[in-house]
Amino acid sequence: MKNFSLIAHQDSIELVYNEHNHITGVSYIPLDDGETIAKTHLEHHYVVFVLKGKVEISCKHYEKKSVSAGHMTFVSKGGFLKMTDHGSTSSLLIFGFDEITIRTNESLMNFLTVHGNQKAYIHNTLPINTDMKQIIDRIVTQVRKGRIRNAAICQAWNIELFITFVTYYTKTEVTEFFRPLVSTDISFRDFVENNYAETEWNAEKLIIFSGLSRSMFLKRFKEEFATTPKVWMTEKFKKKLEFYASRPNMKTSHMASLLRMSDVRLCQITRRLYGCSPQQLIESRQN
């Protein structure tokens, strides 16, 4: 069923979904006393939930930080990861993802813009509260017992987990926890890749979200992507739009939800790019 893994471990139990080269998945890992697992380069972001015991974690942003049972920490892609059991048997649930699949609400977006770049990211943990624990317990049960074999369920877990983050944790907690996802001080490319869809594919909104001046944002974008934000986002959008339009039984409303925008917004864009409605585009791609 899978030809890739979130993290190599002989006793891990994983369910990983790959749609259009975007990965979402979970990995349950038991660790023996003093055992270490490591990955030299992370292709995905991880939320590490410590279910039992205590582990010591090092990554590109921090070194040898202890995380106890009932807590979680965030590890961003692009660097290394090392996790060591801290003196007793431990168990972890690792949630790996490329993109957040819910749209950030406007008030949270504004808060992140103001506070997300004010200081360097440091290690922090969050407690696994009651609402989050219910989701994690259910995921662990389903993965360990193999109750669900369709890996597409990982997308639903992605949405449920992030809705829980923004509903049951404060804006400050979410900002501090996921700072590498929103902070241009960490990686401008990562910021763009992880947030362009959250602004309904609108370059001007992405500039505002970045917290940078317009001239500085455009300068850094040109240096990183060798083009303008509008051209880059249009090409990314067209590739996804044409991919979804070619899928069997696709409808306008479903395509709009996959692209994280309203039906009206989708219609406006397809008429500008292709001179037709979304449904006409779907029909042309499926003939």
Please give the radius of gyration of the chain, using alpha carbons only, rounded to the nearest integer: 20
Whether 6 maps to a domain, the answer reads no
Does residue 235 sit in the same domain as residue 275?
A: yes
- In this structure, the chain runs to a length of 287
Whether 7 maps to a domain, the answer reads no
Does residue 168 sit in the same domain as residue 66?
A: yes
Give dist(CA 158, CA 137) in Å, integer: 15
Q: Which residues pair with 94 in a beta bridge?
A: 27, 48
Does residue 149 sit in the same domain as residue 228?
A: no
Does residue 161 sit in the same domain as residue 94?
A: yes
pLDDT value for 111: 56
**pTM score of the predicted model:** 0.64
- The SS3 of residue 239 is helix
pLDDT value for 211: 64
Does residue 53 sit in the same domain as residue 143?
A: yes
Does residue 69 sit in the same domain as residue 99?
A: yes
Are the beta carbons of 182 and 195 closer than 8 angstroms? yes
pLDDT value for 107: 57
Reference 21, options 1, 42, 4; nearest CA is 4
Q: What is the maximum span of the chain, computed from C-alpha positions, in angstroms?
A: 64
Q: What is the CATH number of the domain that holds 21?
A: 2.60.120.10
pLDDT value for 185: 45
Are the beta carbons of 51 and 104 closer than 8 angstroms? no
Domain that holds residue 135: 13-179
Are the beta carbons of 108 and 166 closer than 8 angstroms? yes
Does residue 205 sit in the same domain as residue 104?
A: no
Q: What is the CATH number of the domain that holds 256?
A: 1.10.10.60
Pair type for strands 90-97 and 22-31: antiparallel
Does residue 30 sit in the same domain as residue 139?
A: yes
pLDDT in tens, the chain (287 residues): 345 678 888 889 999 998 877 789 999 999 999 999 999 888 888 999 999 999 999 988 788 899 999 999 999 887 789 999 987 899 999 999 887 665 555 555 555 555 555 555 667 899 999 999 999 999 999 999 887 778 889 989 988 998 899 889 987 788 778 876 655 444 677 778 777 776 777 888 888 777 667 887 898 899 889 999 989 988 888 888 888 898 888 999 988 888 878 899 899 989 999 999 999 999 888 76
| Chain mean position to CA 218 | 24
Give dist(CA 175, CA 170) in Å, integer: 9
Does residue 116 sit in the same domain as residue 197?
A: no
